[in-house]
A and B are shown apart, each in its own frame.
Chain A
Amino acid sequence: MNRRGFIKYIWAAGFFAASPAFAFDIFKALDPQGKNKDVQKAKTIFDGASSIISSATDMDYKSEFAIGESLALEGFKRYGLPSKSKTLQEYVNLVGNSVARNSLRPTISYYFVVVDSPLYNAFACPGGIIFVSSALVKAMNYEADLACVLAHEVAHVGHKHALQSIKRAKFFEGVGKISTVNMKGEDGKKFRDMIGGLQETLFDKGLDQGMEHEADESGMEIAYRTGYNPKGLVRILHMLKKKEEKAKKKGSWFSTHPPLSERISKCENHLKKYPDANELAEVNKRFAEYRRLL
Chain B
Amino acid sequence: MKRLILISILFVIAGCQNTEAYQIAEASQSSEGPKNVWVSSTSAKLKAESRSSSDTVTALPVGLKLNVIALESRWYHVSTPDKKTGWVYRGWVRAEAPEQEVESDDEDSLGSLLGDSSGSSIEADSADSTRSIRGLSPEAEEYAKQSGSPKKFKDALDSVLSMRTKNRDVETFLQKGKIGQYAE
Contact = CB atoms under 8 A, between A and B. Distances in A.
A81 B157 CA distance: 9
Which size bracket describes the interface of B in this complex? 35 or more
B85 to A, nearest CB: 23
A89 interface: yes
Contacts of B10: 45, 49, 52
A227 B91 contact: yes
Contacts of B154: 73
A97 interface: yes
Contact of B42 (A77, A107, A225): A107
Interface in B118-144: 118-119, 131-132, 136-144
Contact of A45 (B6, B139, B153, B183): B6
B160 A72 contact: yes
A124 to B, nearest CB: 13
A200 B163 CA distance: 28
Contacts of B26: 273
A107 B101 contact: yes
Contact of B160 (A62, A74, A82, A107): A82
Given A180-B138, A226-B91, A101 B117 contact: yes
A71 B106 CA distance: 21
Contacts of A217: 24
B112 A109 contact: yes
Contacts of A228: 179
A158 B22 contact: yes
Interface residues of A, number: 78
Say whether chain B's binding surface is mostly helix, strand, loop, or mixed.
helix
B140 A66 contact: yes
B43 interface: yes
B42 A66 contact: no
A179 B139 contact: yes
Given A109-B103, A227-B91, A281-B180, A221 B24 contact: yes
A8 to B, nearest CB: 11
Given A94-B173, A98-B174, A108 B118 contact: yes
A73 B174 contact: no
Contacts of B28: 225
Nearest to A191: B143
B43 A195 contact: no
Contacts of A227: 91, 174, 179-183
Interface in B1-42: 1-2, 5-6, 9-10, 12-18, 20-22, 24, 26, 28-29, 40-42
A176 interface: no
A82 B159 contact: yes
B141 to A, nearest CB: 8
B62 interface: yes
Given A107-B100, A109-B117, A224-B91, A73 B143 contact: yes
Contacts of B65: none
B139 A183 contact: yes
Given A188-B142, A224-B91, 7 more contacts: A61-B104, A81-B152, A95-B173, A98-B174, A101-B43, A195-B143, A226-B180
Interface of A: 3, 6-7, 10-11, 13-14, 17-18, 45-46, 49, 52-53, 57, 60-62, 65-66, 69-70, 72-74, 76-77, 81-82, 89-90, 93-95, 97-98, 101-102, 104-109, 111-113, 129, 143, 158-159, 164, 178-180, 183-184, 188, 191-192, 195, 210, 214, 217-218, 221, 224-228, 273-274, 279-281, 283, 286
What 7 A-B pairs come out closest when comparing CB atoms?
A: A227-B180, A225-B91, A69-B140, A66-B139, A183-B142, A107-B119, A17-B13
